[in-house]
């Protein structure tokens, strides 16, 4: 589940990028896997979503949001759940390391 405290303030300007997303009007099911989807079917659906993201004018904003909010599901900003989780884990480790170095 998305962590609410990480979401941007409920100010329209903070969410305006979503109005320009290339995914607007597309089938939401392309971006979010159904229960128990695995293997080639999942890879194919993720690839379709990423192809849409690749031509999206707000891919940077979308990816930044998804990483900040730690969106647990779906393709956001051209990244699937696994890719996002990997980056979030690395970022947490880096922060812990920085804190421990500061003492
Ligand atoms: S980057 Fe992908 S998920 Fe994000 S707004 Fe654009 S098309 Fe939609």
For residue 76 and ligand 1, the question of a CB distance below 6 A is answered with yes
**Contact between 60 and 79 (Cβ < 8 Å):** no
Q: Write the residue with the smallest CA distance to atom 3 of ligand 1.
A: 76
Note down pLDDT in tens along the chain; length 103 residues.
566 666 667 677 778 999 999 999 999 999 999 999 999 999 999 999 999 999 999 999 999 999 999 999 999 999 999 999 999 999 999 999 999 999 7
Q: Cα–Cα distance between 84 and 102 in angstroms, integer? A: 27
**Contact between 33 and 45 (Cβ < 8 Å):** yes
Substitution site in 15, 22, 84 for ligand 1 pocket (most atoms within 8 Å of beta carbon): 22
Q: Cα–Cα distance between 22 and 81 in angstroms, integer? A: 19
Q: Cα–Cα distance between 65 and 10 in angstroms, integer? A: 13
Q: Cα–Cα distance between 69 and 9 in angstroms, integer? A: 12
């Amino acid at each position: 589940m998305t962590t609410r405290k990480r979401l941007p303030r409920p100010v329209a300007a903070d969410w305006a990028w979503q109005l320009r997303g290339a995914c607007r009007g597309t089938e939401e099911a392309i971006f979010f896997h159904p229960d128990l989807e695995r293997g080639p079917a999942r890879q194919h659906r993720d690839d379709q979503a990423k192809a849409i993201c690749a031509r999206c004018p707000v891919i940077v904003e979308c990816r930044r949001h998804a990483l900040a909010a730690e969106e647990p599901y779906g393709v956001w900003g051209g990244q699937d759940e696994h890719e996002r989780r990997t980056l979030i884990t690395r970022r947490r480790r880096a922060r812990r390391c920085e804190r421990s170095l500061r003492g």
